[in-house]
């Protein structure tokens, strides 16, 4: 099968098309013919520095939408021909930039009805990150006040929709040009980070979803009420003193990595089929143009997700 691999760390040019053996599903696994693979910021970060994967060679990608080709021993929830979507185990289950992938059956769920593979492939990693941060970690519910940083980004635009679906009041940070888009997703208040310091104008929130890192964490503490929660999604940029300062203020500080989650995937399917969750697509490129997809993503000018298609 064809896959996109790299033999060295570096810029987008290190991504090359290679021929490799097609994997076979083991017990409780499925073999999925990939129709589309989502591209996420973690992809180009690992391409550049190896991150949690260590040195190459490796094939990047965690988001998959496709069709079950075969099932392993003991698999009952999927069968050949099923259209599914899901996330390979992060970070060590990488390999979505390929024609086929294998993974535990419960890392996939039925693709939402009414959306294509491109829109489905944009959902898993980013939306599961948002779900696990908002629901499992911060306990967001009806009446909660939530601040989402980079609200128009991959994780951010799902976080806005999931928080709204749970009845929360959502405040987002984004450039002014993206405010109309975010209002269309349900954001209640928006802060143009180029014109205002969010830490000066936002107060009394129950949860902050920090997709930025750096000084966003310490500054966000000023927006939280006592008893609130800040969830950091950028472990490498987490301020070492953030936990101590949060504790001093009576705030919970949590840093999380996304996990495959069959139950949460099914919850996301329900939201998508109820028209309460949609993926914004910034660009669609063929698998062979993975390097171009990374260049576009690293430009920092996209809204929503970039997706690779596998003909």
Omega cis (within 30) before 139: no
User: In this predicted structure, what is the pLDDT of residue 160?
Assistant: 98
User: In this predicted structure, what is the pLDDT of residue 236?
Assistant: 53
User: In this predicted structure, what is the pLDDT of residue 235?
Assistant: 67
User: In this predicted structure, what is the pLDDT of residue 212?
Assistant: 92
Considering only CA atoms, give the Rg of the chain. 19
User: In this predicted structure, what is the pLDDT of residue 311?
Assistant: 87
Sign of CA dihedral 149, 155, 161, 167: negative
Domains delineated in the chain: 2-123+279-309 (3.90.180.10), 126-255 (3.40.50.720)
Cα angle vertex 193, ends 188, 198, to 5°?
65
User: In this predicted structure, what is the pLDDT of residue 301?
Assistant: 77
**192, 176 in Cβ contact below 8 A?**
yes
User: In this predicted structure, what is the pLDDT of residue 234?
Assistant: 86
For residues 38 and 116, give the distance between their C-alpha atoms in angstroms, rounded to a whole number. Answer: 13
Which is nearest to 63 in space by CA: 33, 83, 85? 85
Neighbours of 67 (CB within 10 A): 16
Could you tell me whether strands 63-71 and 252-255 are parallel, antiparallel, or unpaired per DSSP bridges?
unpaired
The DSSP secondary-structure symbol of 6 reads B
For residues 89 and 172, give the distance between their C-alpha atoms in angstroms, rounded to a whole number. Answer: 29
Cα angle vertex 120, ends 88, 237, to 5°?
55
Q: SS3 of 17, please?
A: strand
User: In this predicted structure, what is the pLDDT of residue 133?
Assistant: 98
User: In this predicted structure, what is the pLDDT of residue 86?
Assistant: 98
Q: Which residues contact 254 (CB under 8 A, 6 or more apart)?
A: 137, 138, 229, 230, 231, 232
- Give pTM, 2 decimals: 0.96
User: In this predicted structure, what is the pLDDT of residue 300?
Assistant: 80
User: In this predicted structure, what is the pLDDT of residue 239?
Assistant: 64
pLDDT < 70: residue spans in the chain? 235-239
DSSP-H helix ranges across the chain: 41-49, 117-121, 124-131, 154-165, 179-185, 198-201, 216-220, 242-248, 262-273, 290-298
């Amino acid at each position: 099968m064809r896959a996109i691999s790299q033999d060295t760390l570096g810029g987008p040019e290190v991504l090359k098309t290679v021929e490799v053996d097609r994997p076979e599903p083991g017990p409780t696994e499925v073999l999925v013919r990939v129709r589309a693979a989502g591209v996420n910021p973690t992809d180009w970060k690992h391409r550049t520095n190896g991150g949690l994967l260590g040195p190459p060679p490796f094939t990047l990608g965690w988001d998959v939408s496709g069709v079950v080709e075969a099932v392993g021993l003991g698999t009952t929830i999927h069968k050949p021909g099923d259209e599914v979507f899901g996330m390979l185990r992060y970070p060590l289950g990488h390999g979505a930039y390929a024609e086929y992938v294998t993974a535990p059956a419960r890392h996939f769920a039925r693709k939402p009805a009414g959306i294509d593979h491109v829109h489905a492939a944009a959902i898993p990693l980013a939306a599961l990150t948002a779900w696990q941060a908002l629901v499992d970690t911060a306990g967001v519910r009806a009446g909660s006040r939530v601040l989402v940083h980079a609200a128009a980004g991959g994780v951010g635009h799902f976080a806005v929709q999931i928080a709204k679906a749970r009845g929360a009041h959502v405040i987002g940070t984004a450039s002014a040009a993206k405010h109309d888009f975010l209002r269309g997703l349900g954001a209640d208040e928006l802060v143009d980070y180029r014109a205002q310091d969010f830490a000066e104008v936002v107060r009394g929130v129950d949860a902050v979803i920090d997709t930025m890192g750096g000084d966003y964490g310490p500054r966000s503490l000023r927006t939280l009420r006592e008893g609130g929660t800040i969830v950091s999604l950028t472990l490498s940029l987490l301020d070492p003193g953030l936990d101590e300062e949060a504790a001093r203020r009576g705030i919970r500080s949590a840093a999380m990595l996304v996990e495959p989650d069959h139950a949460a995937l099914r919850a996301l399917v329900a939201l998508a089929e109820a028209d309460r969750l949609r993926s914004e697509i910034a660009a669609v490129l063929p698998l062979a143009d993975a390097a171009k997809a990374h260049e576009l993503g690293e430009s920092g000018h996209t809204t929503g997700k970039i997706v690779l298609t596998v003909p």
